[in-house]
A and B are shown apart, each in its own frame.
Chain A
Amino acid sequence: MKRLATLRSIVIVVAVYVVLQVLISLGLINPYWQQILSFAGIMAISALGLNLIYGFTGQFSLGHAAFYGIGAYAAAYLSKSIQSTNPLILLLGIICGGILAGVVAFLIGLPILRLRSDYLGIATLGFGIIMKIVFDNADAIIPSLGGSRGMTGIPRLTSFAWVFAVFVLGIIILRNLVFSSIGRALVSIREDEVASEAVGVNTTKYKTIGFVIGCIYAGVAGGLYAHLYSFLHPSNFDFLKSIDVLLIIVLGGLGSISGTIIIAFAWTFLLEGLRVILPEAILDWRLVIYPLLLIIVMLIRPKGIFGGREIKFLFPKPESFKTPINRSETSK
């Protein structure tokens, strides 16, 4: 049963990849839309990280874009200073970006994860603003980071294939983590931190684990982003970008992996799609349409589109996790 489910997942993943690659090679997805597709994947990776932090562990973070930026700048700095177009540099870059984001998350998490709900939100917001200023003035210390003029000359190494691979890996890791003893400890903190501590969960430790892993996702996504557009600007990592990611996970449903993925893609394509569809004159109204959609979704489905549920065929839950067994039947 379980093996079959795993096999089915693999088939689906491969099929999606093949279809997209065929469409790309046939020219049906032009380079512009390819870039959008990659960007959507990157947003999804970053949003999966925030969903682990906020959706599963219940720690309200408004500083996600800062960690995304740390990953982006770290990866970009690495590949720019090595000056090679070997795709493996990208791999090295995103690993370093992820690690650096994780280390910073650990150091900042130690003091601020004591705070709860709104207070934590304010603290992470503060951290986000600090990081934006750091990015703005980074050229004072390392000139090649560009500071407020932006960082140029990053090799364009991110292809759709890379994003897809990291994206799938990200989903698998998150799923394995969430549906496990560690995942249950994280969710118990979201549900009731006091009760969680009272039954013997080291909440400080698990909050830190959740926060660090979530920020590693952001760092990795940032690394991919840097090599997709080959240009970085501090305004790409300001507070509003954190809100974008937050919107995605809230719309998708907190604690839903499927919801995050679908909304991340839908949101990115809507953003770009409206640019194509809407006539020039009312193009700026795009920015009114999204908040309006947000309000409507929140009114109709306050728990998000997926409301903590998962799509069954994408996430066959491991046998030990659900699958009701009728106890009286098995004992006879």
Chain B
Amino acid sequence: MSALLEINKLTKSFGGLKAVSDFDLNINTGELVGLIGPNGAGKTTVFNLITGMYNPTLGSIKFQEHEISRLKPHKIAKLGITRTFQNIRLFPELTVLDNVRIAYHFQTRCGICHTLFRTKRFNEEESQLREKALEFLAIFGLETRYNEISKNLPYGEQRRLEIARALVSEPKLLLLDEPAAGMNPFEVGRLMELISFIRDRFKLTILLIEHQMKVVMGICERVVAMDFGEIIAQGKPEQVQNDPKVIEAYLGSVTDS
């Protein structure tokens, strides 16, 4: 079976800086892969390349055997790769319901004529959409919050809403950029439960960036470590954790000190 996501010799330069160089990674359907590395290692750049926010300088990204490295982000989202952001990016002034409803946008069939004349079809579609969005929020335990302005939610719920929003389009691959950042141990525990839950429920393949070792060691099946834009180690979490190169990347080498 071929991999869900195949990244080959991916390189991204910003001027003279190679943020990512010769990055190879295959992710199989159903895997939960962790991407770790010190700050500035290029992890988020990899995410931005996969989701089309940046165009790669070199290399290819294949998703379900389709080349996606030159597509626009909204096209990639429709193909089935969605993401969350390191600093939560909700639609801050909108309600929880609207945050989710916007993600349903790709499903709406009514064109501009139906919209302008408020036809029966438009009204039906709107109320169906609302029901669907509310049911979807219920999966994440956010249904009672639906009418709240999203920026007023507590931090943990904002994260949950962002993950929910990314799942509306039923993606095959979900990219989570430091989902546990800024969470207390209790919230981290709930987040790990949530990730396992959505993985089963939506039959997801997940790639996640994380600094909290508890999360990486707890749920990832495979870990990829990066430094200076290159992969320095990969394998089982324990293996990578004890890899001398990884320890060096995080703590510096003996000769340095």
Contact = CB atoms under 8 A, between A and B. Distances in A.
B73 A182 contact: no
Interface in A270-328: 308, 318-322, 324, 327
Contacts of A236: none
Nearest to B117: A176
Interface string A50-89: 0000000000000000000000000000000000000000
B103 A177 contact: no
Contact of B129 (A173, A177, A181, A191): A181
Interface string A139-181: 0000000000000000000000000000000000100110011
A204 B166 CA distance: 20
B127 A319 contact: yes
A318 B123 contact: yes
B58 interface: no
Contacts of A260: none
B73 A192 contact: no
Q: By CB atoms of chain B within 10 A, which of A177, A199, A204 has the most?
A: A199
A320 B129 contact: yes
Contact of B169 (A184, A199, A209, A327): A199
A302 B29 CA distance: 50
B141 to A, nearest CB: 12
Contacts of B104: 181
B184 to A, nearest CB: 25
B91 interface: yes
B98 interface: yes
B68 to A, nearest CB: 14
Contact of B105 (A191, A199, A322): A199
Contacts of A192: 89-92
Interface in B94-143: 94, 98, 101-106, 108, 110, 112, 115-118, 122-123, 125-127, 129-130, 134, 138, 143
Interface string B64-93: 000000001110011000110100011111
Contact of B94 (A191, A202, A209): A191
A27 interface: no
B53 interface: yes
B13 interface: no
Interface string B159-182: 000000110110000000000000
Contacts of A320: 123, 126-127, 129-130
B51 interface: yes
B255 interface: no
B147 interface: yes
B102 A308 contact: no
B242 interface: no
Contacts of A185: 102, 105
Interface string B35-75: 00000000000000001010000000000000000001110
B257 interface: no
A318 B120 CA distance: 12
Contacts of B93: 191, 308
B165 A199 contact: yes
Contacts of A327: 134, 138, 143-144
A48 interface: no
A139 B251 CA distance: 74
Contacts of B92: 191-192
A201 B89 contact: no
A327 B141 CA distance: 12
A111 interface: no
Contact of A184 (B78, B102, B134): B102
A184 B105 contact: yes
Contacts of B72: 197, 202, 204
Nearest to A322: B147
A126 B146 CA distance: 43
Interface string A188-210: 10011011111111111000010
8 contacts: A181-B115, A191-B94, A196-B91, A199-B168, A200-B82, A308-B93, A320-B126, A321-B126
Q: Pick the 3 closest A-B CB pairs, nearest first.
A: A191-B91, A320-B126, A200-B77
Interface of A: 173, 176-177, 180-182, 184-185, 187-188, 191-192, 194-204, 209, 308, 318-322, 324, 327
Given A200-B169, A320-B126, A327-B134, 19 more contacts: A180-B110, A181-B115, A182-B115, A184-B101, A187-B94, A191-B90, A197-B53, A197-B72, A198-B85, A199-B102, A199-B165, A199-B169, A200-B74, A200-B106, A201-B105, A320-B123, A320-B130, A321-B126, A327-B143
